[in-house]
Amino acid sequence: MAAQNPGTELDLSWISKIQVNQPAVLRRAEQIQARRTVKKEWQAAWLLKAVTFIDLTTLSGDDTSSNIQRLCYKAKYPIREDLLKALNMHDKDITTAAVCVYPARVCDAVKALKAAGCTIPVASVATGFPAAQTHLKTRLEEIRLAVEDGAMEIDVVINRTLVLTGQWEGSDFIKTSTGKETVNATFPVAIVMLRAIRDFFWKTGNKVGFKPAGGIRSAKDSLAWLSLIKEELGDEWLKPELFRIGASTLLSDIERQIYHHVTGRYAAYHDLPMC
């Protein structure tokens, strides 16, 4: 993804003045989670939209070329074709936003997507994922190798030591977490991050993207995240260039909900084997 944030002069006085009203943030988070979601065809439409924001991810120690190939096939065909036909959406080219893998698996993903005849970008978690506690030279080399192998996007793990000591870094996207922490994407933290994005846009005119990752597993969760983005940042941010969902199992539940909407019954395992 091309850099969309040209950067701006760092104003530490602005950062130091930021205060968070924690009770208000928690109330807002509860409001989002308690709200009734849309139903029937509106729910199906929003779920299909959610699919297009997913960075379909596998970050396992036992990843192989075969399961990467399977992941890429699912990224290209996220919802069963007969279900899309029933919704009259079979010709809309609905795919996930990207495929996200370890640097060593980028070649496998690029090859599999090319074989599938699609242009879904490959993202990679370079820079010493998930802790970033490696030498800067090593982290930069990992980025270079991933890009050389065909990665179009890099999920950079920041050196949190720099943040904790007030040495801030800029970004095109900010992410709630690596997805490998005990606590990952939560609504209270997301609200603070989204309002920082909004304030930064108002102050500089530069748009920063947002990616919640870790623990987002249900279709209902995805609808809550889309609603939060729409209300806090507006429709302008509801596009893959500015919003992603990092997830490995979310797509399975979305497809099951689409199946239920179309057929009126919940899918058995053999109905959706690619899940």
The single residue of 211, 220, 230, 239 carrying the catalytic annotation is 211
**Amino acid making up residue 2:** A
User: Is 175 assigned a catalytic role?
Assistant: yes
| CA dihedral for 185, 274, 243, 140, sign (positive or negative) | positive
Taking CA atoms, 210 is separated from 15, 185, 213, in Å, by 19, 11, 10
Contact assessment for residue 223 and residue 32, using Cβ atoms and an 8 Å cutoff: no
User: Is 111 assigned a catalytic role?
Assistant: no
Residue 32, judged by CB atoms within 10 A of its CB (0-12, 13-18, 19+), counts as: middle
Contact assessment for residue 80 and residue 272, using Cβ atoms and an 8 Å cutoff: yes
The single residue of 74, 92, 175, 180 carrying the catalytic annotation is 175
d(CA 173, CA 139): 18
Nearest alpha carbon to residue 5 among 127, 173, 122, 139? 173
Query: Which residue has 């893959």 as its token pair?
Result: 240
Active site positions, annotated: 175, 211
